[in-house]
Structure 1
Amino acid sequence: MARPRKPTALHVVDGTFRADRQPRKTLTPGAKMPDAPAHVRRDLIAFTEWRRIAREFAGLGMITALDRGPLAAVCVLYGRWVRAENALAKMGERDATTHGLIIRTALGNAIQNPLVGIANRAMLMYVRMCREFGMTPAARAGIEMAPGPTDDETPAGRYF
């Protein structure tokens, strides 16, 4: 996997900023936000994340109907991560020693709680998918935005 681009702000701080190496691509605002898929609407946590992200993208005008599936994946992964973390927190309340991170098998062996693996994997996949949408500082380093719509023209108001 290629190394992620360093954000421009860090280049400036490090003194390694060079204007000739900045991205030349631009995104043109003005895309219409798609509706959330049914399986995302049924999951309150995933749908809340959909609305949060959708507001941002609709305000920037940088999402289309083609992004519906990948954006749904981001939201479902977020919901899975939050649910696993909430379940671990509940188990941790009852277990002051390991805080729910270690459980005992039927034979009495101590193993890592499977919820830890679920939470870690969902978090990892969520962050990877967020990079695809430019939702991390390093991912945004490679994006230049064309001037966006004014507040009167923004498509976000039509959806929320």
Structure 2
Amino acid sequence: MAGTSNSGRRATPTNIHVIRGNPSKKSAAELAGAGTAVVVKAEAPTCPDFLTPDAKAEWKRIAADLVLLGLVSKLDRGELAVYCQAWADWKYARKQIADQKEKGFVESTPSGYKQMSAWMQVANRAEDRMRTAGASFGLNPSARARLQIPAPQGELFPNAQKDAAAKYF
């Protein structure tokens, strides 16, 4: 048997399937059962004690807003820790690059060739980790567009939630 349950394209959400006119000719029963997501209570996970101080500061900065938007639960502790630590690593590497001025971008090898500096490589890898983990929480514009967050409904939100939602929409 080829592939696994993770192989191939992701299932199209039911509402998109219906909008497109049901091109796969699925039955109503198949469409009704498709795309049902597990709902987990939105609450902030505890910050791991092994994170660096900059990562902990990022955790404190972002966790409350993610809870207000319903994008994080206690199950997401690892993914949020990866994002926060990647952000701290990126910040540290960028500081090292800035301190070294031009040597922070390009280094010379012992044979005289120019290459990207080690700090630049660290910064680039941390940025990739940050983007990958951050996409899970909608921390960039394209990832936010893919999230299925209901639009705010006027004054139904308490002011704190409304203000937090206004930052991102």
Residues 1:119 and 1:76: Cα distance change in structure 2 (over 3 Å):
same
Name the structure 2 match of 1:38.
Answer: 49
The range that moved more, 78-87 or 60-69, is 60-69
> Which amino acid in 1 is paired with 2:44?
M
2:94 aligned to 68, 85, 104, which one?
85
Code of the aligned partner of 1:79:
A
| Residue 108 (structure 2) aligns with | 104
Q: Which amino acid aligns with 2:89?
A: R
User: 1:115: how far off?
Assistant: 0.8
Aligned counterpart, 2:14:
none
- In structure 1, the residue matched to 2:12 is none
**Structure 2, unaligned stretches of length 5 or more?**
1-8, 10-18, 21-34, 165-169
Greater shift in the superposed pair: 58-67 or 75-84? 58-67
Q: Which residue of structure 1 aligns with residue 149 of structure 2? A: 145
Give the residue type in structure 2 aligned to 1:50: W
Quote the offset at 1:119 in angstroms: 0.5
CA distance in 2, matches of 1:100, 1:32: 40
2:69–2:161 CA contact under 8 A, matched in 1: no
TM-score (normalizing by structure 1)? 0.66
d(CA) in 1 for partners of 2:157, 2:37: 15
What is the match of residue 69 of structure 2?
Answer: 60
1:144 to partner: Cα distance = 2.8
Q: CA RMSD in A?
A: 3.3
Alpha-carbon spacing, 1:80–1:153, altered in 2? closer, same or farther (3 Å): closer
Query: What is the SS of the residue equivalent to 2:61?
Result: helix
Which whole-Å deviations, capped at 9, do the CAs of 1:71-115 have from their partners, x for residues lacking one? 0000000011110010000000xxxxx352122344554332111
For the 8 Å contact 1:25–1:143, the answer to whether it is kept is no
- 2:128 and 2:115 map into 1 onto residues whose CA distance is 21
- RCO greater where, 1 or 2, for CA within 8 Å and sep 6 or more? 1
* 8 Å Cα contact 2:83-2:133 kept in structure 1: yes
Change (3 A) 1:151 1:52: same
Matched AA of 2:140: T
For 1:35, the aligned partner's letter is: T
Inter-partner Cα distance in structure 1 for 2:159 and 2:98: 41
Which whole-Å CA distance do the structure 1 matches of 2:92 and 2:131 have between them?
16
Q: Quick check: which has more Rg, 1 or 2?
A: 2
The aligned counterpart of 2:85 is: 76
